[in-house]
Amino acid sequence: MTNLYYIWEGLTSLPILLAAMAGVLWGMCGGALPGISTAIAMSLVLPFTYGMDPSAALVLLGAIYIGSEYGGSIPAILIRTPASGSSAATVVDGYAMQRQGRGGEALGLSLVGGTIGGFVGLLLLSLLTQQLSKVALWFTPPAYFALGILGISVIASLSERNVIRGLIAGVLGLMVATIGTDPVSGVMRFTFGYPELMGGVPVIIVMMGVFAVTELMIQARERDYSEDVTERSTRLKLPSLKKLWSLRVPQIIAIVFGTIEGLTPGGGGSIAAFMSYNEAKRWSKEPEKFGKGSEEGVIAPETANNVVALTALIPTLSFGIPGTATAAILLAALLIHGLHPGPNLFTSHPEVVYQLFSGLFLANLGMFVFGLIILSPIIWLVNRPRAYLRAGIFGLIFSGIYSVNGSEFDLYLVMAIGVVGYLLRSLRFPFLPFVLAVVLGYMIEANYRRSLLITNGDHIVFLQNPISVCLLALSALFIVLPLYRQFRQRRRSSQAAHPQQP
């Protein structure tokens, strides 16, 4: 009964209500602005939480996390500019729907899917925190490495026609991820004498370059400059209950992967979104629509993103193991207020934990309400003439990238990544494997090196851990099965083209 009292107190507390609403609003605005990632939006507010009540401070940061996960999908759908890695998978079908005049439907699917994912994630966070968080303790460096390999293996299925090209794009992404400081020895590599590259190529720069800059370069070479897209009136259109029921399979898939990745340190929304997108395509009755404006391709990654936003807090609160980089900021807020995560947190400070749950519930409600309100001015911006829109996007890219480190070098770097993305698109290489490999690169390399240090360079360590063995076996299936399907398709095509004579 005491815990129920704390929950009710959180739902009726004015400071917590204000923190939840302010956090969601700022998170949605920060997530919708290219260059302002979830981590940046949270870190900008972190200094202001020093003098706040611990419960309100945690609710504020958690609400920013929730709001920014949805906010990132707005530019991803409307202007093909994902604000974070977790919204990159939404670009594929969300922007395709926008170009078909169905941008309002995509936005509605994103909003409703994100809200459903948020409430499911909150339910898991509230009921299964101590039980499910034990899974995170089973992961050792070999298991982390295998998890990264599993994420990379998804690129085989994401590559629609040519798995080999998808793997090549993934290797290129891993090469970009190795730029900077060696995770074990600290040696500088592939920096070419530029001190700005000592910390590696930031993921946000890769996202902005491959998606936003590349798209602008592709559009610049088009000879048709008609304003057919900007003249359309895009209005938010929420899906009906019948439509949501027909999309239940991709949502269930997203909930499963969102839960797994949220509980896994180093997983995060990016992996969950891509894997949910991939599996939704695999189990879809109409897989040919993916990449061409599939509703399943929008709701699956958006649901997964918000499930991760809540389930990532489970290992953070129970064991001090942040599931994502943004969860690490919330962990820092805990330590700032003298709260140490772990089993004792639920016994010594239960009011903080359960008021946090209440605040996150209010934040999910606020996300849905603000989602209905804040979209109108953003949609109005998208419906401006295409030339103005392109100039505005370039301005947002450069201002957002420059605001991160205040470095002109980052501006040159985002343009260089844009050229790489343009070459990939021109040569018909899939760019999603490239992006995913950059996101997972550090986790794969760092845990690979740490695993070998355990056994003095003996690779048997990856076969001694049962979790590592299972994940590596799944990785092999992800690569072999698409290759086998392509082989069978080519064989059938060859037999159809050259039928045997009786």
Contact 254, 245 (CB under 8 A): no
Q: How far is CA 417 from CA 208, 253, 293, 401, 413, in A?
A: 8, 32, 26, 13, 6
Contact 67, 23 (CB under 8 A): yes
User: What is this structure's pTM?
Assistant: 0.63
Confidence of residue 228 (pLDDT cuts 50, 70, 90): very low
Instruction: Count other Cβ atoms within 10 Å, centred on residue 384.
Output: 13
Contact 256, 407 (CB under 8 A): no
CA nearest neighbour of 148 among 168, 125, 173:
173
Asked whether residue 9 carries a pLDDT value surpassing 80, the answer given is no
Return the pLDDT at 321: 61
Q: Which position has the higher pLDDT, 347 or 470?
A: 470
Contact 264, 252 (CB under 8 A): no
Contact 277, 225 (CB under 8 A): no
As a whole number of angstroms, the distance between CA 88 and CA 319 comes to 30
Instruction: Count other Cβ atoms within 10 Å, centred on residue 208.
Output: 30
Sole residue written with tokens 């997964």? 304
Return the pLDDT at 21: 92
Confidence of residue 231 (pLDDT cuts 50, 70, 90): very low
Return the pLDDT at 157: 61
Q: Which position has the higher pLDDT, 47 or 72?
A: 72
Hey, what are 390's tokens?
């392109």
Measure the N-to-C terminal CA separation of the chain; round to a whole number of Å.
Answer: 82
Domain boundaries, the chain: 2-492
Return the pLDDT at 229: 40
CA nearest neighbour of 300 among 67, 93, 123:
93
As a whole number of angstroms, the distance between CA 471 and CA 453 comes to 21
DSSP 46: G
Return the pLDDT at 405: 73
Q: Which position has the higher pLDDT, 119 or 158?
A: 119
- What is the DSSP code string of 81-149? --SSGGGHHHHHHHHHHHHTT-HHHHHHHHHHHHHHHHHHHHHHHHHSHHHHTHHHHT--HHHHHHHHH
- What is the DSSP code string of 443-467? HHHHHHHHHHHHTTT-TTHHHHSHH
Structure confidence by residue, pLDDT tens digits, 450-460: 888 888 888 88
Asked whether residue 227 carries a pLDDT value surpassing 50, the answer given is no
Q: Which position has the higher pLDDT, 96 or 232?
A: 96
CA torsion, ordered 252, 255, 256, 257, to nearest 10 deg: 120
Asked whether residue 323 carries a pLDDT value surpassing 60, the answer given is no
Confidence of residue 425 (pLDDT cuts 50, 70, 90): confident
Asked whether residue 185 carries a pLDDT value surpassing 50, the answer given is yes
Under DSSP, is residue 180 helix (H, G, I), strand (E, B) or coil?
strand
pLDDT more than 70, % of the chain: 80
Structure confidence by residue, pLDDT tens digits, 131-163: 654 565 677 788 878 877 876 776 556 555 677
